[in-house]
Structure 1
Amino acid sequence: MEDHLAHGVFDEPFIGSWALAAGAVTRHELRHDFDRVAPDVYARKGIQLDVTGRAKAAVHWTKGEGVLVGRSAAALLGSAYVDADQPVEIALPRHRRPPPGITVIQAELTRGERCEVHGYPVTTPPRTAFDLARRLPRDQAIPALDALCRATGLDPSTVLSFADGHQGVRGCARARAVLGLVDPGAESPQESLTRLLLIDHGLPAPTTQIVVRDHGGEFLARLDMGWERWQVAVEYDGAQHWTDTAQRTKDIDRLAILAEHGWLIVRVGADLLRNRPYIVIDRVLAALNAHGVHLDPARAS
């Protein structure tokens, strides 16, 4: 058994009965060296299953019959920031009572709506995006869709075309409205929500990942989002920008260089975004006004 462990044979979840039948483990080893993570599904003791590991365990629970959907499919397709605490979502042609931590969605998927990632069945990127858009609340759907499109190279227009072929499916109209707000340029859920905040308060949709160069064409910076023609940008700064001394010094120098080249930067942190969004809007409007752009403040109330 130790040889198997040393070579990583059991680094992923597996079906216990199949491993026993193949002689890969004994009943004693299965009982003492592995944890039962779902009915007849085991993982080696000491392994903490991440979001993809839990998704793979759910597929094994269905004996390969299920297809991962929604956020679980997105995780295997490479999306970042998928919450590991969310139940695994898996589609089956017939309802089956799931164990804790797994949600079964009764659905018949066509061959063109499913694919495999490292041998595990998942919905294709367009189908995954369509399901996220129609099932999740908007402020959860947009960050998830931004991340999925960024990870897979999926164009939101492709998902809109997919939606056109699924008229009448529950949530289709909501999906179309959500998909119009997707931007794969967002590099984190917080950037997605910052962009939504600006749009919701009547500001023009910002461009994401703006590359700034000097007059000689040399690279100066890449900005989270903003309006290049007005030289105003909005940057979401994670905790490291405030707590890491080296990062803080780098940010100060970067802001000074951008200011020298005519840019005004509005910086946003977690507290501002969550608790004081009106200050973000006020600062963005003030920056735009300083550059001669006078938008109607009433639209941002």
Structure 2
Amino acid sequence: MQRPIMGTEALAGAELTRGQLRWNYRAVHPDVYIAKNQKRTLYVNTYAAWLWTRRTGIIAGRAAAAMHGVYGMDASTPIEMIGPHIRHQRGVVMREERIGGDEVQSIGELRVTTAARTALDLGRHLPRDLAVQYLDQLARAADLTEAAVAPLIERYRGARGLPRARVALSLMDGGTRRQEETRMRLLMHDFGLPAPRTNIALTDGRDTTVIGMGWDDVKLGVSYFEPPRPGGCAAVQDLRHHELVARMGWTEMGFINSGHGRSVGYHVRNELHRRRRQNR
């Protein structure tokens, strides 16, 4: 993939002539250019923003999360960076914040906040539900736990947004497989339900399948299902999944649209309470 360049460097190194720079490239930041046919992706924007800081900025927030393996962001995502305050640039958010050397790592040429510091910043700067969606993915991709972030919470006591971060981090669960399931899990939390176990593997010794989340004591599960797929291997796999869940004595409540989450949440809450009353 072709990366952004600094115009002055390209000219000084005789890599380009002024005419080539003018006709074949377009400016995205002062002295930072991309090829005219280059697609603006999140990574391209991140690299360009880093060049704009004269390679001094530390990639943070959502851009850092993406570099750690979090998905669901696109070229419209603001590039958050930690570094000295410089004049405003569209699409870039500069934060003059304290950061320790042990909170930064190199990914390729770029300096990026570690998974733990990235988690702290996501929790501090984003609304709870969005933060937890990204935190779940980050925990899964980087094998990150709340305990790993605890030293940073202690280090930055009194920092802006820390109470919000504590809440988001307490809800982080690396077993959650999809953003839709994160949203459902948060909804059930807000309904006052006990936290479910996530990524529940069921096996009869021959076949194995996974339920998104659930409560072992009453064998009640909740999963997000992709929209129905016609015929073929996919339909056979779906059938085998449901057959194994039933053989193992579980009931699985599924949903395909998190926009109907409250309705599903009410049904889950009622069924969970009903089963627990029966078990008393």
TM-score, length basis structure 2: 0.91
**Aligned to 1:263, which of 225, 240, 250?**
250
Q: Please report how far the alpha carbon of residue 243 of structure 1 lies from its aligned counterpart in structure 2 after TM superposition.
A: 4.5
Tell me the residue number matched to 2:6: 15
- 1:181 alignment partner in structure 2: 171
- Given that residues 97 and 104 in structure 1 are in contact (C-alpha distance below 8 angstroms), is that contact kept between their aligned partners in structure 2? no
Task: State the number of aligned residues.
Answer: 277
State whether residues 91 and 105 of structure 1, in contact with CA within 8 Å, keep that contact through their aligned partners in structure 2.
yes
In structure 2, what is the Cα distance between the partners aligned to 1:52 and 1:156?
A: 27
Q: How does 1:36-115 map to 2 (within 5 A)?
A: 36-93=27-84, 95-115=85-105
Note the alpha carbon deviations across 1:136-171, whole angstroms, 9 max, x for none: 110111011111121212212111232012111111
Q: Does 1:159 align with 2:146?
A: no
C-alpha separation in 2, matches of 1:244 and 1:142: 33
Out of 95, 108, 112, the residue aligned to residue 118 of structure 1 is: 108
User: Deviations for 1:2-32, whole angstroms, at most 9, x for unmatched residues?
Assistant: xxxxxx6xx1112121122112222222122
Q: Which moved more, 1:42-51 or 1:276-285?
A: 276-285
Structure 2: how far apart are the matches of 1:116 and 1:126?
14
Work out the CA distance in 1 between the residues paired with 2:125 and 2:33. 31
Matched, 1:220 2:220: no
| Residue identity matched to 1:280 | V
Any idea what the Cα deviations from partners look like across 1:250-285, whole Å, max 9, x if unmatched?
Answer: 323421332132111111122xx22x3332123324
Tell me the amino acid that sits aligned with residue 294 of structure 1: R
CA distance in 2, matches of 1:213, 1:162: 39
Cα deviation, residue 183, structure 1: 0.2
State the alpha-carbon separation in 1 of the partners of residues 14 and 137 from structure 2: 41
Question: Is 12-21 or 82-91 further displaced after alignment?
Answer: 82-91
From 249, 262, 268, give the equivalent of 1:278.
262
Q: 8 Å contact 1:51–1:82 — kept in the other structure?
A: yes
Q: Unaligned 5+ residue runs, structure 2?
A: none
Q: Is the 8 A contact 1:264 1:287 kept in 2?
A: no
Look up the equivalent residue of 1:120 and give its one-letter code: L
1:85-105 deviations in Å (ceiling 9; x for gaps): 121111222x21232211222
Identify the residue that residue 127 of structure 2 maps to in structure 1.
137
Q: Does the 8 A contact of 1:160 with 1:179 survive in 2?
A: no
Deviation at 1:245, TM superposition (A): 4.0
Q: 1:109 to 1:162 in 2, by over 3 A?
A: closer
Q: Displacement of 1:289 after TM fit?
A: 5.7
What is the aligned-residue RMSD (CA, Å)? 2.0
Percent identity for Structure 1 against Structure 2:
33
Instruction: State the alpha-carbon separation in 1 of the partners of residues 277 and 42 from structure 2.
Output: 46
Q: CA deviation at 1:287?
A: 4.1
Please give the secondary structure, in 2, of the residue aligned with 1:154: coil
- The Cα shift of 1:177 comes to 1.9
Contact 2:184 2:265 (C-alpha < 8 Å) held by counterparts:
no
Structure 1 residues 113 and 220: alpha-carbon distance in aligned structure 2, compared to 1, 3 A threshold: closer
Letter of the structure 1 residue corresponding to residue 80 of structure 2:
E
Deviation at 1:45, TM superposition (A): 2.6
Match of 2:137 in 1: 147
1:84 and 1:242, CA in 2 relative to 1: closer, same or farther beyond 3 A? farther
TM-score after normalising by structure 1: 0.85
SS at match of 2:276: coil
